[in-house]
């Protein structure tokens, strides 16, 4: 969780306060001992011990308060570790105050999102001995002033209570107030006041952190939505333009009875259809969380079927395709449809990366007996990927193809590989080419190695 510097500073100040008090008390004790022992008149051993015991009594109270407050903070911190909303935080605060102070009632109020409502978020005991609205006024006053309020003889329903109200606030924000009460002649001590106020401060900074993180997440989601819409609209526009060009060529070919032009138009339409299909399937693959559906397959057969669908595209660009299949490859449990997406995306990248007539693409498999895994690789002699971009290539919407890429392909590849408990590596050099290597563990039907 992100912790702003001011939040850290504020939390440190709360923790330093009892430590500083303890140190001051200890230093005071040492000074008094030095003063007593530094006097010229002789002091007997009994007198010295009495002096030491007397002075230590004052420090003892500070030491006890110090350790009590530290324990309270530790308990709060342990409970707060994985909290994601302010309601849970105030419940933790209320429960810890109940454990350490044993008060007769605790009420925690939170300010609403509209900054106008002031509602009860925590109440102890569960059986209400009096109307919570009677305590609400004290909590509201504390909230508005941003200061603690201590009333040792407050009247509620004709009964006397010792009441402490502590604000839930940071230096910039107000969130609510915690009100603690004890019946009759029981008074809230300075030590108890310090515990409640310190706990309120810690919880306040935690609430501030949660609100900050939620705000960041919300902004990031808005940015992501904007990037998604922008990226998809650009891709779809390009695909539609290609469709229009293909249709125009087909119309002209029909009018002129030109078979070559007709074939060119058909080729453009087919490529545009494939791009649209790939875009839609990539969107579905990336957005949908689902379990893979593994079946026992020979990975060599899967790749051969994919290459058959790509033969026209490879032939058109006059690319040399080299297939290197491993021998004695074991059958493995894979989701064929998902793994096809992986290989197709890697092949598409390779085809786009190489130049016509001189492009070479290698695709192969290998059984890694020692690792209990199969290996699939796709290698090209294309333009390569700059070293500074390697870490970003699997990010959604990041494309090395500029306007020609959707930014989905490699993100899908990584996602599917991880779904199969596999790993993917990339090695690339600008001007020389790129090699993607995938390792998938060989599993039995139950999904275990």
Domain assignment present for residue 225? The answer is no
**Cβ neighbours of residue 351 closer than 8 Å, sequence gap 6 or more:** 310, 313, 314, 317, 319, 359, 361
Confidence of residue 231 (pLDDT cuts 50, 70, 90): low
To which residue do tokens 């599917």 refer? Answer: 416
The pLDDT value recorded for residue 10 is 40
pLDDT tens, 318-347? 999 999 999 889 999 999 888 988 998 899
Per-residue pLDDT at 266? 84
d(CA 380, CA 436): 9
CA pair distance 432, 175, nearest whole angstrom: 59
The one-character DSSP state at 326 is P
Give yes or no: residues 340 and 243 share one domain: no
pLDDT band (50, 70, 90) for residue 425: very high
220 occurs within a structural domain? no
Nearest to 427 by CA among 382, 395, 384, 371: 384
Predicted local distance difference test score (pLDDT) of residue 43: 44
Q: Count Cα neighbours of 24 within 13 Å in the Cβ-side half-sphere.
A: 9
* Residue 105 scores a pLDDT above 80: yes
Give the number of C-alpha atoms closer than 13 A to the C-alpha of residue 140, restricted to the C-beta side: 13
Q: Please tell me which residue, 394 or 429, carries the higher pLDDT value.
A: 429
Looking at the domain assignment, is residue 324 inside a domain? yes
Same domain, 20 and 110: yes
pLDDT at 228: 60
- Rounded CA gap, 370 and 364, in Å? 19
For the segment 258-269, the average pLDDT, to the nearest whole number, is 85
Q: Which of 215, 247, 270 is the last residue of a domain?
A: 215
Residue 25 has pLDDT above 80, yes or no: no
pLDDT, average across residues 427-449: 81
Same domain for 204 and 274, yes or no, is: no
Q: Which tops the pLDDT comparison, 141 or 443?
A: 141
The pLDDT tens digits for 196-220 are 888 888 888 888 877 877 777 666 6
- Asked whether the whole model's pTM tops 0.75, one would answer no
> Alpha-carbon distance 94 to 77, whole Å?
14
Pair 311, 173 in one domain:
no
Q: Is residue 206 a part of any domain in this protein?
A: yes
Rounded to whole angstroms, the Cα distance separating 296 from 374 reads 14
> 351-363 burial by CB neighbour count: b if 16+ within 10 A, else e?
bbbbeeeebbbbb
Residue 224 maps to a domain: no
Single residue among 270, 285, 300 that ends a domain in this structure? 285
Above pLDDT 90, what percent of the chain?
24
Please check whether residue 448 lies inside any domain of the structure: no
Please tell me the predicted confidence (pLDDT) of residue 207.
Answer: 83
Query: Are 237 and 326 within one domain?
Result: no
- Domain range for 124 is 5-215
- Which CATH number covers residue 390? 3.30.565.10
**pLDDT band, very low/low/confident/very high, at 125 (cuts 50, 70, 90):** confident
How many CA atoms lie less than 13 Å away from 432 in the CB half-sphere?
6
Question: pLDDT at residue 68 above 60?
Answer: no
- Residue 169 and residue 84 share a domain: yes
Q: Do 112 and 210 share a domain, yes or no?
A: yes
Cα–Cα distance measured from residue 371 to residue 449, given in angstroms and rounded to the nearest whole number: 10
Q: For residues 148 and 25, which has the higher predicted lDDT (pLDDT)?
A: 148
**Are residues 388 and 240 located together in one domain of the fold?**
no
Is residue 114 located within the same domain as residue 206?
Answer: yes
22 pLDDT more than 50: no
Residues 14 and 147 in one domain: yes
The domain that holds 23 is classified in CATH as 3.30.450.40
Among the residue ranges 38-42, 255-259, 307-311, the one predicted with the least confidence is: 38-42
Q: Where a domain ends, among 215, 246, 266?
A: 215
> What percent of the chain stands above pLDDT 70?
68
Task: Band the pLDDT of 288: cuts 50, 70, 90.
Answer: low
Which residues make beta-bridge pairs with 295?
334
For residue 226, being part of any structural domain is answered with: no
pLDDT above 80 (res 130): no
Domain co-membership, 13 together with 137: yes
- Average pLDDT of the chain to the nearest whole number: 77
* Structural domains of the chain, count: 3
Q: Is the pLDDT of residue 296 over 80?
A: yes
Report the half-sphere exposure of 341 (CA within 13 A, side-chain side). 26
Is residue 301 in a domain? yes
What's the pLDDT tens digit per position in 378-421?
999 999 988 888 888 887 666 665 545 556 678 888 989 999 99
The per-residue pLDDT for 72 is 54
Asked whether residue 84 falls in the same domain as residue 63, the answer is yes
Strand, helix or coil for residue 430: coil
């Amino acid at each position: 969780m992100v912790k702003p510097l001011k939040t850290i500073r504020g939390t440190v100040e709360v923790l330093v306060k009892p430590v500083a008090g303890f140190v001051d008390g200890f230093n005071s004790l040492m000074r008094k001992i030095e003063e007593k022992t530094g006097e010229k008149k002789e002091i007997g051993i009994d007198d010295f011990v009495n002096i030491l015991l007397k002075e230590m009594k004052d420090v003892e109270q500070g030491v006890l308060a110090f350790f009590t407050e530290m324990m309270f903070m530790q308990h709060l911190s342990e409970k707060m570790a994985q909290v994601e909303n302010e309601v849970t935080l105030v419940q933790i605060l209320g429960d810890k105050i109940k454990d350490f102070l044993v008060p007769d009632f605790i009420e925690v109020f939170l300010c609403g999102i509209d900054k106008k409502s002031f509602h009860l978020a925590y109440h102890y005991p569960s059986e209400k001995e009096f109307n919570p609205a009677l305590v609400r006024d004290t909590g509201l006053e504390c909230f508005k002033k941003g200061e603690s309020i201590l009333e040792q003889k407050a009247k509620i329903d004709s009964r006397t209570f010792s009441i402490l109200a502590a604000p839930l606030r940071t230096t910039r924000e107000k969130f609510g107030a915690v009100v603690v009460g004890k019946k009759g002649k029981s008074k809230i001590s300075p030590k108890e006041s310090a515990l409640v106020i310190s706990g309120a401060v810690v919880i306040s900074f935690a609430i501030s952190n949660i609100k900050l993180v939620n705000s960041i997440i919300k902004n990031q989601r808005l940015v992501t939505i904007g990037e998604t819409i922008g990226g998809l609209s650009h891709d779809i526009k390009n695909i539609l333009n290609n469709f229009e060009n293909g249709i125009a060529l087909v119309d002209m070919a029909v009018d002129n009875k030109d078979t070559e032009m007709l074939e060119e138009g058909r080729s453009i339409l087919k490529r545009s259809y494939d791009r649209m299909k790939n875009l839609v399937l990539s969107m579905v693959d990336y957005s949908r969380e689902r379990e893979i559906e593994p079946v026992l397959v020979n990975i060599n057969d899967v790749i051969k079927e994919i290459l058959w669908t790509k033969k026209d595209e490879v032939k058109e660009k006059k690319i040399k395709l080299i297939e290197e299949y491993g021998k004695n490859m074991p059958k493995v449990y894979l989701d064929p449809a998902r793994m096809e997406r992986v290989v197709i995306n890697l092949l598409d990248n390779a085809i786009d990366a190489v130049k016509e007539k001189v492009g070479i693409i290698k695709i192969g498999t290998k059984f890694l007996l020692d690792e209990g895994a199969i290996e699939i690789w796709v290698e090209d002699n294309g333009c390569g990927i700059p070293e500074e971009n390697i870490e970003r290539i699997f990010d959604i919407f990041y494309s090395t193809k500029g306007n020609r890429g959707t930014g989905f392909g490699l993100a899908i590849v990584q996602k599917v590989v991880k779904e199969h408990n596999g790993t993917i590596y990339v090695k690339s050099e600008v001007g020389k080419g790129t090699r993607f290597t995938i390792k998938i563990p060989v599993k039995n039907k139950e999904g275990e190695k």
